[in-house]
Amino acid sequence: TNPSLDRKDRITAMAAVVEAIASGAKVPEYGVDVRLVLCLHTMLPDDINEATLDLALTRRDLVRGIDVAGPEAPLGERLDHFVSLYKKAADHYLPATAHLGETSPAYVHPELFPYLRRIGHGVQIPLHLPHLLPEIRRRGICFELCPSTYLQTGTFADLAPVREVTKRLDTEGIDYCFCTDNPAFNGRYLQAEHEVALENELIDFSGLVRCQRNAFKHAF
């Protein structure tokens, strides 16, 4: 939105931004119907996050779910705020994912689990908080793994920990798939993530098929 506007007018302008992005995402010649996931943010004020959720609920024709992004520490510091938003989304049957436990087990918040259908990253859970895995399996939550991101951000020096993550998720019978995270930032698209996963033995070819099926199964 236009940074010269005051906050109230910027919030009002959010709807036009969503409409513009949705329009730009239409590529009818490919037969792909694109819908959006709107991100709450750990560094944005409460009223903007609330307005983002309200917009998602109002424009269900364009929006299929919500997420929360941004630095991980403030999420825990404002957990009540985000739990209330996720509960409201769940009460209106709006699917949700959340970035949790990417860099540290301290950034895993089970309070959000009842409202999630997917977890963004979450790699610290199978590595350091395996006691949470049965609940995640029971709730049918899918992990979204982004191997290239963990190398680029320095979360891991190599992909051996991610190999352990997929092994433990397989053992527990928990669904996961591979995602691009942010191609505009890291230049990595889905095919490249699948190649990285195969080359580093995070999965085998049968695992790749299973991940692709999981992606469809847990799509919003």
pLDDT digit string (tens) for 56-67? 999 999 999 999
pLDDT value for 17:
96
pLDDT value for 57:
98
pLDDT value for 43:
97
Contact 64, 90 (CB under 8 A): no
Residues of the chain with pLDDT under 70: none
pLDDT value for 83:
98
Closest CA to 122 of 210, 113, 114: 113
Cα atoms found within 13 Å of the Cα of residue 122, Cβ hemisphere only = 31
Residues 6+ apart with CB under 8 A from 176: 142, 143, 144, 145, 166, 169, 211, 214
Closest CA to 82 of 50, 60, 107: 50
pLDDT value for 186:
80
pLDDT value for 32:
82
| Residue 86 in tokens | 């996720």
For the chain, list the strands marked E by DSSP: 36-41, 63-69, 97-100, 118-121, 142-145, 176-178
pTM of this prediction exceeds 0.75: yes
- CA distance linking residue 171 with residue 164, whole number of Å: 10
